[in-house]
């Protein structure tokens, strides 16, 4: 519903292209820029899968000079970002291509934005906001989950505080995002499952977010509708093009909603798991989602009735108070269907660490203030304890 006086805004890359075979438009798109030296940022997994060489060869054939940085294993940290920026500064890269999931894309976006900074530290620490991007940035997502191809944030592990932290600036929005679902065909089932549920987290959290607007809800709704029929297909039948196309679209739409409305408590509680235990972002979000909504959905039952409808769980419009449980049960069951862990104990989290994690999560105001439920440290600890043992 439009509220008079409310401002709805969507920011997108200048070019956003979606579809199978759209990778073929990469070279013509790059030729529009007066550049010769391209910095290709990706990671070890994609190198092993042969995808990095496939793209590097395309670039070389088109007579670009290519410098490749793939020294990334696991999710990115601020020291890694600093190293990547230095590497690309020395290579004098004139344009950055980010090839990969959220890890490679976030690193590429932040590198392209910070290339002219001799000391990028204040921007990484969050004490300065990046004013503008230095060199063009083109991204090619290879997972279907983070939506990083259309967001203006980038997330890194902070080794000092052992919590993940986002840097946010419009300068992080890529110039060009080419979403070719064929690039996700080689994505392993576990990554497909975790990143796919991550996309759903973006859709549902942005749908109920305090900052949600009619425009962002439209994207979130469509993402949730496409999620249910496609997630299991993409995970269990990885070469099924329909499932891959569906999940790439879910990721993209949910990314637009997330980028412009923000996410909430599920992400806040996931950050300490990523920072200290290096649990993949998608795995952490997928696991925590049912436990968090079990508590927080109480204040937004009508929105959960909508969500139950999008997931085809039944018509809860006249009994919205029952909708949260239907959604929570669906999400909990999904963990098993997709072979994802369903308790913190399974992930090897130390039970004695839960109070510190609750303290860390309770400080992530950016996300907690965007949640339509007031969570304090005590309540967060209660959620972690439940997630430790399971329902
Ligand atoms: N900027 C944002 O808006 C945003 C949103 C959500 C998450 N994130 C961040 O994104 C990161 C997670 O990204 P992700 O879930 O996409 O996973 P990822 O980028 O970390 O990739 C996971 C693994 O899958 C491999 N992989 C990816 N695509 C593949 C393919 N097609 N074939 C073979 N292997 C492939 C990678 O090599 C890696 O080993 C986290 O750091 C998270 O915090 C950012």
pLDDT digits (tens, 9 = 90+) for 10-24: 999 999 999 999 999
Helices 323-337, 301-310: axis angle to 10 degrees equals: 50
**Structural domains of the chain, ranges and CATH numbers in brackets:** 15-184 (3.40.50.1970), 189-389 (1.20.1090.10)
C-alpha 6 to ligand 1 mean position (Å): 34
Give which of 58, 227, 257 is closest to 140, Cα–Cα: 58
Identify the pLDDT of residue 175: 98
Q: Whose CA is nearest to atom 33 of ligand 1?
A: 187
What's the chain's average pLDDT? 96
Whether pLDDT at 212 is above 80? yes
Whether pLDDT at 108 is above 80? yes
Percent of the chain with pLDDT strictly greater than 90: 92
244-270 average pLDDT score: 97
Q: Residue for token digits 């449980």? A: 325
Using an 8 Å Cβ cutoff, are 178 and 17 in contact? yes
| Residue 58 exposed, middle or buried by CB count within 10 Å (0-12, 13-18, 19+) | middle
Q: What is the pTM of this model?
A: 0.96
Per-residue CA distances from 115 to 50, 91, 196, 203 (Å)? 27, 11, 31, 32
Using an 8 Å Cβ cutoff, are 159 and 77 in contact? yes
pLDDT tens sequence across 119-147: 999 999 888 999 988 999 999 999 999 99
Q: Which two tokens stand for residue 131?
A: 């004013």
CA 218, distance to chain mean position in Å, is: 18
Whether pLDDT at 150 is above 80? yes
205-226 average pLDDT score: 97
Whether pLDDT at 90 is above 80? yes
Residues 6+ apart with CB under 8 A from 74: 103, 278
Using an 8 Å Cβ cutoff, are 179 and 17 in contact? yes
Residues with CB under 6 A from ligand 1: 43, 45-46, 49, 51, 75-76, 100-104, 106, 142-143, 145-148, 151, 153-155, 164, 183-184, 186-188, 191, 195, 198, 281-282
Burial string for 119-155 (b: 16+ CB within 10 Å, else e) reads ebeebbeeeeebeebbbbbbbbbbbbbbbbbbbbbbb
Q: Which two tokens stand for residue 98?
A: 């980010």
Identify the pLDDT of residue 5: 81
Using an 8 Å Cβ cutoff, are 270 and 284 in contact? yes
Q: Residue for token digits 């000092």? A: 160
Whether pLDDT at 1 is above 80? no
Count, in order, helices (H) and strands (E) of the chain.
Answer: 16, 8
Atom of ligand 1 nearest to the CA of 156: 41
DSSP per-residue letters across 230-244: HHHHHHHSTT-HHHH
Distance CA 360, CA 347 (A): 19
Distance CA 368, CA 240 (A): 38
C-alpha 371 to ligand 1 mean position (Å): 25
C-alpha 272 to ligand 1 mean position (Å): 18
- Bridge partner residues of 17 (DSSP): 178
pLDDT tens sequence across 277-334: 889 999 999 999 999 999 999 999 999 999 999 999 999 999 999 999 999 999 999 9
For a mutational test of ligand 1's pocket, the pick from 52, 146, 185, 194, i.e. the residue with the most ligand atoms closer than 8 A to its C-beta, is 146
Identify the pLDDT of residue 265: 98
Ramachandran class of 4: left when φ > 0, alpha when ψ lies in -120 to 50, beta otherwise: beta
């Amino acid at each position: 519903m439009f509220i008079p006086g409310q401002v709805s805004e969507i920011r997108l890359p200048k070019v956003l292209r979606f579809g199978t075979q759209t990778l073929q438009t990469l070279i013509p798109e790059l030729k529009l820029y007066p550049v010769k030296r391209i910095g290709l940022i990706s990671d070890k997994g994609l190198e092993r899968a042969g995808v990095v060489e496939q793209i590097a060869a395309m670039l070389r054939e088109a007579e670009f000079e290519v410098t490749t940085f793939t020294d990334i294993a696991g999710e990115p940290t601020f020291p890694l970002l600093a190293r990547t920026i230095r590497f690309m500064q020395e290579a004098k890269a004139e344009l950055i291509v980010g090839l990969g999931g959220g890890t490679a894309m976030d690193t590429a976006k932040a590198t392209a934005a910070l290339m002219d900074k001799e000391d990028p530290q204040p921007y990484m620490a969050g004490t300065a906001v990046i004013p503008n991007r230095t060199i063009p940035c083109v991204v090619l997502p290879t997972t279907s989950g983070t939506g990083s191809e259309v967001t203006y944030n980038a997330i890194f592990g902070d080794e000092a505080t052992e919590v993940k932290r986002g840097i946010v600036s419009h300068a992080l929005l890529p110039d060009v995002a080419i979403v070719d679902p064929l690039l996700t065909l080689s994505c392993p089932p576990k990554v497909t499952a975790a990143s796919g549920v991550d996309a759903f987290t973006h859709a549902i959290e942005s749908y109920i977010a305090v900052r949600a607007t009619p425009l962002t809800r439209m994207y979130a709704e469509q993402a949730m509708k496409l999620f249910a029929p496609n997630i299991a297909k993409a995970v269990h039948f990885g070469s099924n093009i329909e499932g891959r196309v569906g999940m790439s679209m879910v990721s993209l739409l949910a990314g637009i909603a997330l980028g412009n409305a923000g996410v909430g408590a599920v992400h806040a509680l996931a950050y300490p798991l990523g920072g200290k235990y290096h649990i993949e972002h998608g795995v952490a979000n997928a696991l925590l989602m049912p436990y968090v909504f079990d508590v927080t959905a109480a204040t937004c039952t009508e929105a959960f009735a909508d969500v139950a409808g999008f997931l085809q769980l039944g018509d809860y419009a006249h009994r919205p108070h029952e909708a949260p449980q239907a959604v929570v049960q669906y999400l909990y069951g999904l963990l098993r269907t997709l072979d994802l862990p369903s308790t913190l104990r399974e992930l090897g989290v130390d039970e004695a660490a839960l109070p510190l994690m609750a303290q860390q999560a309770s400080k992530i105001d950016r996300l907690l203030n965007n949640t339509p439920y007031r969570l304090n440290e005590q309540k967060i600890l209660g959620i972690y304890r439940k997630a430790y043992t399971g329902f």
